[in-house]
Structure 1
Amino acid sequence: MSFKAVKLMTVPTNGQISIGKAWAGRQIRIEVSDSEIHISAGTFIPDSQKAFFTPEAKTALAEFNNYESGKPAKASDTKALFASLKKKKAARGG
């Protein structure tokens, strides 16, 4: 059985209430209707990021991870890469 605490508050004239330090840093959702306010804790996805949490996106990510696991990364020769970039830059007159 879960415990449910009820706390009665009077909203001060500045309109701000404090719900306590235990809630610091957590995401909450505040639903306001005509005569009620509901505060819910949770993890919320911004509208701009909802596309990443669709079944299609999860499938595409799983396919990519499967592809990537079969293709180990190649070692890079950074000295050769920078030398090549310097030559290209010099050829452009930079």
Structure 2
Amino acid sequence: MGTSSSSTMVKVVGANGQISLGKQYAGRQVLVEEREPGVWLVRTATVVPDNERWLLYPQAADDLRRALDWAEANPPDDADVEQILTRLGDGEG
């Protein structure tokens, strides 16, 4: 985590209803919380899509790490392709 500091800036809301927070925040997502009319709390955030949230669970991270380790230790090999295709075609496996 970064250090916490407090500062006050005067910004002008443009005719289109926008304010600029500075180039260092360009492209970042922010949460804007309206505490009361005219009072906002703006915080930078990282938003995780619902369909990717499962990746944040420790078990999922462990499973993914093990799968990547296995894939690295077992590179693709097409030496037995014909035998595998025959087995699959016979309904085995």
Q: Using the alignment, how far apart are the partners of 1:48 and 1:34 within structure 2?
A: 32
Q: Using the alignment, how far apart are the partners of 2:15 and 2:25 within structure 1?
A: 23
Q: Unmatched 5+ residue regions in structure 2?
A: 80-93
Q: Using the alignment, how far apart are the partners of 1:68 and 1:32 within structure 2?
A: 48
1:27 maps to 2:12:
no
Match of 1:92 in 2: none
Q: Indicate the RMSD between aligned Cα atoms, in angstroms.
A: 2.6
Select the structure of larger CA radius of gyration: 1
Match of 1:74 in 2: 77
Opposite residue 43 of structure 2, the aligned amino acid is S
Richer in strand (by share) = 2
Per-residue CA deviations over 1:33-67 (Å, capped at 9, x if unaligned) read 32431111232212332112211211210120122
TM-score, normalized by length of structure 2?
Answer: 0.59
Give the counterpart of 1:4 among 3, 6, 15: 6
TM-score, normalized by length of structure 1?
Answer: 0.59
Match of 2:54 in 1: 51
Match of 2:64 in 1: 61
Richer in helix (by share) = 1
Q: In percent, how many aligned pairs have the same letter?
A: 28
